[in-house]
């Protein structure tokens, strides 16, 4: 088999600033050891997120020039709407400025204080939007989701027994909808099988509970189903995506991921009464229903991007980059979540630096070491992001201490990945020198973005 090549060539470049170790040490100190607050230009390889950080294609840039900026009923809206309709088959379509705006409208229109929303794993903005309404966001991932080394094909699945139990315990009237996130971002970017979505649907049908898909990475999920689930090998990714959405009553979407755009999102639903409520709130919060939070040119870029994300060769290449990095790291012996996810490689910091206690933040130790060694910006998904304080102020660690290296779409080439592997190898060889950290200053909510840290000892 020949090398899988990038199915594009480059016609516009953006310089990367190559920094010295001294410059990076200085930048990290000025950022109070929190990479979120380092200037992007000082992060040569920025793997903080795959959200809105992708490169658009010539077709997308060309489509932007066709942007129709009419307030109501523009041609760009028509193209945006018909593309989403083709993929989802859902009639009521609302453009939003990004995924969390769709979540906020859904939560504000449908939830009452005290309600429960199950999901395989909620993303943090989804959880926050649900909690903001005085409700509970419940994670019900399958048991193997917590075993980082277990090679199982659909570790993003929901635990069907737990879903049953949750509905029996709380009663269907307390659960206005259930969600399923494809792929499961917080669970390591792991896919959900079609069989699992069908099983969730079957349970919900008994109780007449609607199913909402968090569709941010639906094309990557469709690709995994094509590769790993029996009976889907001859199907196009579009038809697999259509089948996934056919099982849902609605969806929230961040087009900054599989829309291959730098901004944008949408909310869709089948229920016309829900749609009426969404429309009213959309006008209040985002904009007139045919543009929502978006310029016409953004709608054009998204309409093209959604289709490009479903191209098989694009997904083959994307998955090959993730696998390339994961396989080489396995060879070196670096512990990571296996199998590799759809949009990122997740290092297992707990196993990488076992000398650092969870409450001394091993994930931060690894993130900062990666930055110092090679200007790579990653993100901690561990006790700083998910740690919990009880009523006495006692801190409880997160069950997993992961470091996410998220891959922007169509941005980095193989030599960039080779360099990243060399940097991770260097960090791995010197892992015993990595210090733990303490937090010296933190806000009440979402502390990972802005807290100040310092190395211990
Ligand atoms: N749902 C999932 C599964 C996500 O991963 C994200 C964003 C959102 C919803 C919210 O979408 O950012 O457009 O408002 N995830 C990004 C990340 C930020 O880095 O994983 P948004």
Which of 287, 308, 329 lies at the terminal end of a domain, its last residue?
Answer: 308
Cα 252 to averaged position of ligand 1 atoms, centre (Å) = 10
Structure tokens at 446: 């979402």
Ligand 1 centre distance from Cα of residue 45 (Å): 20
Chain CA centroid to CA 177, Å = 21
How many domains does one find in the chain? 2
Q: Region 124-130: what's the mean pLDDT?
A: 92
Residue 382 lies in a domain: yes
Residue 415 lies in a domain: yes
Distances (CA, A) of 37 to 70, 262, 376, 431, 436: 38, 21, 14, 24, 19
Judge whether 296 lies within some domain. Answer: yes
Whether 308 is in the pocket of ligand 1, judged by its Cβ within 6 Å, is no
388 or 17, which is more confident?
17
Determine the Cα–Cα distance for residues 377 and 167; give it in Å rounded to an integer. 41
- Which ligand 1 atom is at minimum distance from the Cα of 343? 20
Q: Which atom of ligand 1 is nearest to the CA of 217?
A: 3
Q: SS3 for 190?
A: strand
The reply to whether 419 and 276 lie within a common domain is no
Best substitution site from 47, 254, 262 to test ligand 1's pocket, by max atoms within 8 Å of Cβ? 254
Q: What is the CATH number of the domain that holds 158?
A: 3.40.640.10
* Cα 212–chain centre separation: 16
- Provide the domain limits for residue 394: 21-50+311-455
By alpha-carbon position, which residue is closest to atom 6 of ligand 1? 123
178 lies in some domain: yes
On the question of pLDDT at 137 being above 90, the answer is yes
Find out whether the beta carbon of 157 lies less than 6 Å from any atom of ligand 1: no
| Pairwise CA distance, residues 118 & 6, whole Å | 38
Ligand 1 pocket, residue 214 CB under 6 Å: yes
Ligand 1 and 129: CB distance under 6 A: no
- The CATH number of whichever domain residue 350 belongs to comes to 3.90.1150.10
- pLDDT tens per residue, range 337-358: 999 999 999 999 999 999 999 9
**Same structural domain for residues 39 and 120?**
no
Q: Average pLDDT for residues 132-146, to the nearest whole number?
A: 94
Do both 321 and 252 map to the same domain?
Answer: no
Say whether both 63 and 187 belong to one domain.
yes
Report how far ligand 1's centroid is from the alpha carbon of 101 (Å). 11
Tell which phi-psi region holds residue 291, choosing left (phi > 0), alpha (psi between -120 and 50) or beta.
alpha
pLDDT at residue 123 in the model: 92
Answer yes or no: is pLDDT of 389 > 80.
no
> Looking at the structure, do residues 247 and 377 belong to the same domain, yes or no?
no
Widest CA span of the chain, in angstroms?
A: 62
Residue 97 CA to ligand 1 center (angstroms) comes to: 12
Query: What does the mean pLDDT of the chain come to?
Result: 96
Last residue of a domain, one of 282, 308, 334: 308
The response to whether residue 218 sits with its C-beta less than 6 Å from ligand 1 reads: no
Average pLDDT over residues 151-168: 96
Task: Answer whether residue 5 is part of any domain.
Answer: no
Characterize the bridge pairing of strands 211-214 and 250-254: parallel
Q: How far, in whole angstroms, is CA 413 from its chain's centroid?
A: 21
**In terms of domains, do 301 and 321 share one?**
no
- Domain end among 266, 286, 308: 308
Ligand 1 and 183: CB distance under 6 A: no
Tell me the β-bridge partners of 404.
346, 379
Q: Tell me if 184 CB under 6 Å of ligand 1.
A: no
Give the model's pLDDT for residue 186: 83
13 within domain boundaries: no
Helix axis angle, 312-332 to 296-309, nearest 10°: 70
pLDDT of residue 148: 84
pLDDT tens for residues 177-188? Answer: 999 999 998 888
What share of the chain in percent tops pLDDT 70? Answer: 100
Q: Is 97 left (phi over 0), alpha (psi -120 to 50) or beta?
A: alpha
> What pLDDT is recorded for position 446?
82
Q: What is the pLDDT of residue 124?
A: 87
In a shared domain, residues 72 and 91: yes
> Hey, whose CA ends up nearest to atom 18 of ligand 1?
51
Per-residue model confidence as pLDDT tens digits over 295-348:
999 999 999 999 999 999 999 999 999 999 999 999 999 999 999 999 999 999
Residues 449 and 431 in one domain: yes
- Band (27; pLDDT cuts 50, 70, 90): very high
pLDDT of residue 216: 98
Residue tagged 């050891």 (tokens): 33
Q: 185 C-alpha to center of ligand 1: Å?
A: 8
Two tokens, residue 442: 């933190």
Q: What is the pLDDT of residue 425?
A: 98
**Residues with Cβ < 8 Å from 51, sequence gap 6 or more?**
254, 256, 257, 406
402 and 297 housed in the same domain: no
At 343, give phi and psi (nearest 5°).
Answer: -125, 5
- Is 100 touching ligand 1 by the criterion CB < 6 Å? yes
Instruction: Assess whether the C-beta atom of 88 lies below 6 angstroms from ligand 1.
Output: no
pLDDT attached to residue 97: 98
pLDDT of residue 444: 80
Please check whether residues 65 and 43 belong to one and the same domain: no
Please indicate, yes or no, if residue 343 is contained in any of the structural domains: yes
Say yes or no: 252 and 316 in one domain. no
**Do 106 and 183 share a structural domain?**
yes
Q: How far is the CA of 327 from the centre of ligand 1 (A)?
A: 26
Pocket test for ligand 1, best of 46, 47, 49, 51 (most atoms within 8 A of CB): 51
Kindly state whether residue 432 falls inside one of the protein's structural domains. yes
For the four alpha carbons of 121, 127, 131 and 135, in that order, the dihedral sign comes to: negative
């Amino acid at each position: 088999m020949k090398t899988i090549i990038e199915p594009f060539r480059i016609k516009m470049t953006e310089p990367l600033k190559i920094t010295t170790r001294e410059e990076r040490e200085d930048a990290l100190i000025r950022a109070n050891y929190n990479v979120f607050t380092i200037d992007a230009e000082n992060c040569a390889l920025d793997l903080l997120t795959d959200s809105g950080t992708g490169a658009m294609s010539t077709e997308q840039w060309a489509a932007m020039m066709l942007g129709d900026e009419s307030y109501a009923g523009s041609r760009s809206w028509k193209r945006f709407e018909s593309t989403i309709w083709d993929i989802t088959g859902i009639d009521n379509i609302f453009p939003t400025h990004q995924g969390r705006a769709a979540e906020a409208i859904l939560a504000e229109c449908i939830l009452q204080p005290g309600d429960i929303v199950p999901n395989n794993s909620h993303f943090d903005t989804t959880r926050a939007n649900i909690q903001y309404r005085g409700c509970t966001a419940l994670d019900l991932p399958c048991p193997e989701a917590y075993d980082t080394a277990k090679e199982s094909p659909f570790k993003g699945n929901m635990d069907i027994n737990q879903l049953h139990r949750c509905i029996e315990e709380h009663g269907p009237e307390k659960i206005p909808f259930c969600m399923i996130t494809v792929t499961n971002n917080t669970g390591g970017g792991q896919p959900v099988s079609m069989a699992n979505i069908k099983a969730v649907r079957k349970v919900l049908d008994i109780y007449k509970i609607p199913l909402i898909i968090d569709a941010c990475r639906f094309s990557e999920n469709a690709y995994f189903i094509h590769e790993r689930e029996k009976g889907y090998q001859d199907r196009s990714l579009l038809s697999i995506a259509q089948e996934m959405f056919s099982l849902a009553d609605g969806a929230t979407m961040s087009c900054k991921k599989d829309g291959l755009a730098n901004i944008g999102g949408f909310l869709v639903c089948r229920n016309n009464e829900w749609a009426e409520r969404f429309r009213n709130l959309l006008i209040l919060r985002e904009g007139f229903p045919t543009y929502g939070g978006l310029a016409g040119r953004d709608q054009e870029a998204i309409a093209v991007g959604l289709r490009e994300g479903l191209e098989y060769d694009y997904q083959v290449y994307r998955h090959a980059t993730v696998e390339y990095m994961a396989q080489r790291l396995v060879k070196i012996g670096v512990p990571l979540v296996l199998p590799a996810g759809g949009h990122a490689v997740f290092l297992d910091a707990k196993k990488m630096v076992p000398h650092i206690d969870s409450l001394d933040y091993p994930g931060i130790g690894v993130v900062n070491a990666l930055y110092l060694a090679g200007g790579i910006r990653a993100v901690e998904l561990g006790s700083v992001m998910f740690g919990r304080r009880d009523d006495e102020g006692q801190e409880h660690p997160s069950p997993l201490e992961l470091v996410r290296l998220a891959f922007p779409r169509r941005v980095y080439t193989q030599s960039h990945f080779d360099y990243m592997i060399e940097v991770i190898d260097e960090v791995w060889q010197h892992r015993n020198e990595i210090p733990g950290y303490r937090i010296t200053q933190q806000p009440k909510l979402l502390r990972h973005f802005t807290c100040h840290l310092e190395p211990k000892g």
